[in-house]
Structure 1
């Protein structure tokens, strides 16, 4: 079979060569593109004749699926697969795998970092102290004793909950399925409206799918306390981001930490969140640590080898 890695995985070429050896040792061909492209036509061309394509978080064009009759597996080196046209793959009996679990710690740590920045004014302080007309320090808040609402208690949500628990927060959660591990953290499961009303800090950790798109609507945001903050390290379209910007600018909530948007960076200059008050923005980097990239590469190459050996792993159920 022909295996093609269509974009870099943020590891060295030496590591790629080391991990791809398991593929070539089985008698298969491996092709690696070391420059990222978002051009759909180029991705179609790169995918040509491949039995397996390996991608990360670059949107994968439906034409690449429809025009390649040989394609058997789309191996996504990422947790979410919403950038792949799942229905087209399903119609052609193409499997999709992912690399869930590689960035649990990384995402949870950034969520915590965004809260700490909002609560202690780290970015503000760094900028203020450098000014000649120093305006004075910002009085902050502590996490201990706060009610933290975790929306989505999968692996990342649970990891985030553990960090908040270590800081002394009280945990409430909302998820389609209650987890025993969450209850061991003394998390109380509640309805989403209740969580929005009670939480001092809300952290989102659900996948993007039809049932979660726009779930944090203007109506849900209106339920939040005026001194509450919202953290989104999951997927941008989970939130009505225009409504979020309006809530921030009108003082209906006190702050937000946002790593994900309605599109991948660069963000258009007129995007409302860019101009919202009391907002810390990061360019979709929650997953991006040295350790996470190494774990991701291992999982992705292991997925390819498992498929080649007739035992597909980490297959997305559709």
Structure 2
């Protein structure tokens, strides 16, 4: 019987997954780094057969110096961090994670919707600062509160996550309309979503077609009491235009889990604005313990399947 090959596995940015990652079930050596910068990639992957990455950029200039590399297992759905053209031309397999966030991202989306429509953050901050104690009646109405039920949710992007958000919204009594680049029954155009929605939520990938899909012109078409949610990708919204729309009252609020540059070490126009009707979370919509555990298990399932000669979740098939 032929001896099972031994594989050298290197995880370049282990800190991006906040749960345990199990060891694969085949002979291997395993090295992990909490984080890796660009000029460390070649040195750290020099002896690797399998690279595990999440957001580390692995481009042709590095791949050219890594002749041993056979598999790049991406610990995320998006694979724009990998030079897929080079990998395809040189027989390097690339796998990714799929359908792990069907609960966590929709739940985070709905949390932002509720927080904005019901002005939860402004009221909580008022109470912490002692305002309630100064009021002569039992409550006050400084910030508008709108019901979720009976409002219209417009989805831009109607894949698995968009549909999951839509199903939950309908259960809450919302009317759901949606658009996407592809056709589907009931599809409406972008203008209809912009003009008719009380809440607009983005669930599309960032491509040249979708970059700044919401800009100054689109924001002007939205209702003045509408809110915009982005748990998809930074770059889908013109951030400067959004700040102006929020300051001028063109729209009522926004909830974002993503920015154009992450982390925003050099600042960001949305962060600098410090607006009460703008909620920003640090790209954690995907990161429930349950979702990360599913992601972690699927990551190693992908590696084990490839080693077993039964590859799954390949992006270059």
TM-score by structure 2 length?
A: 0.87
- Equivalent residue in structure 2 for 1:5, among 11, 17, 21: 11
Matched, 1:315 2:297: no
> CA, structure 1 residues 264+23, in 2 after alignment: closer, same or farther (shift >3 Å)?
farther
Unmatched segments (≥5 aa) in structure 2:
1-6
Contact kept? 2:239, 2:269, Cα under 8 Å: no
Counterpart in the other structure of 2:167: 162
The count of corresponding residues between Structure 1 and Structure 2 is 302
Find the aligned partners of 1:224 and 1:155 in 2 and give their Cα distance: 25
- Equivalent residue in structure 2 for 1:100, among 84, 98, 101: 98
> CA, structure 1 residues 218+73, in 2 after alignment: closer, same or farther (shift >3 Å)?
farther
Counterpart in the other structure of 2:71: 73
Counterpart in the other structure of 1:45: 43
Measured after TM superposition, the shift of residue 70 of structure 1 is 2.0
Q: What's the secondary structure of 2:305's corresponding residue?
A: helix
Counterpart in the other structure of 1:291: 290
Find the aligned partners of 1:145 and 1:317 in 2 and give their Cα distance: 44
Counterpart in the other structure of 1:228: 226
Measured after TM superposition, the shift of residue 87 of structure 1 is 3.1
Measured after TM superposition, the shift of residue 121 of structure 1 is 1.8
Larger radius of gyration: 2
Find the aligned partners of 1:96 and 1:160 in 2 and give their Cα distance: 29
Find the aligned partners of 1:10 and 1:115 in 2 and give their Cα distance: 26
> CA, structure 1 residues 272+62, in 2 after alignment: closer, same or farther (shift >3 Å)?
farther
- Equivalent residue in structure 2 for 1:152, among 157, 164, 167: 157
Which stretch shows the higher mean deviation, 127-136 or 279-288?
A: 127-136
> CA, structure 1 residues 87+218, in 2 after alignment: closer, same or farther (shift >3 Å)?
farther
Q: What's the secondary structure of 2:221's corresponding residue?
A: coil
Counterpart in the other structure of 1:23: 26
> CA, structure 1 residues 256+62, in 2 after alignment: closer, same or farther (shift >3 Å)?
farther
Measured after TM superposition, the shift of residue 267 of structure 1 is 4.6
> CA, structure 1 residues 316+168, in 2 after alignment: closer, same or farther (shift >3 Å)?
same
Find the aligned partners of 2:26 and 2:221 in 1 and give their Cα distance: 52
Q: RMSD over aligned Cα, in angstroms?
A: 2.1
Q: Deviations over 1:203-234 (max 9, x none)?
A: 10111222222222222222211111110000
Contact kept? 1:148, 1:202, Cα under 8 Å: yes
> CA, structure 1 residues 293+270, in 2 after alignment: closer, same or farther (shift >3 Å)?
closer
Measured after TM superposition, the shift of residue 195 of structure 1 is 1.2
Find the aligned partners of 1:254 and 1:317 in 2 and give their Cα distance: 42
Q: Deviations over 1:117-144 (max 9, x none)?
A: 1011222222110113447453411111
Which stretch shows the higher mean deviation, 287-296 or 86-95?
A: 86-95
> CA, structure 1 residues 96+221, in 2 after alignment: closer, same or farther (shift >3 Å)?
farther
Which stretch shows the higher mean deviation, 297-306 or 132-141?
A: 132-141
Contact kept? 1:242, 1:273, Cα under 8 Å: no
Listed as ranges, the matches of 1:192-203 within 5 Å are 192-203=190-201
Contact kept? 1:43, 1:64, Cα under 8 Å: yes
Measured after TM superposition, the shift of residue 56 of structure 1 is 1.7
Q: What's the secondary structure of 1:20's corresponding residue?
A: coil
TM-score by structure 1 length?
A: 0.87
Q: What's the secondary structure of 1:221's corresponding residue?
A: helix
Q: Deviations over 1:61-88 (max 9, x none)?
A: 5543232122222211111122333333
Matched, 1:303 2:294: no
Find the aligned partners of 1:236 and 1:270 in 2 and give their Cα distance: 11
Find the aligned partners of 1:289 and 1:58 in 2 and give their Cα distance: 22
Contact kept? 2:223, 2:250, Cα under 8 Å: yes
Q: What's the secondary structure of 1:222's corresponding residue?
A: helix
Q: What's the secondary structure of 2:103's corresponding residue?
A: helix
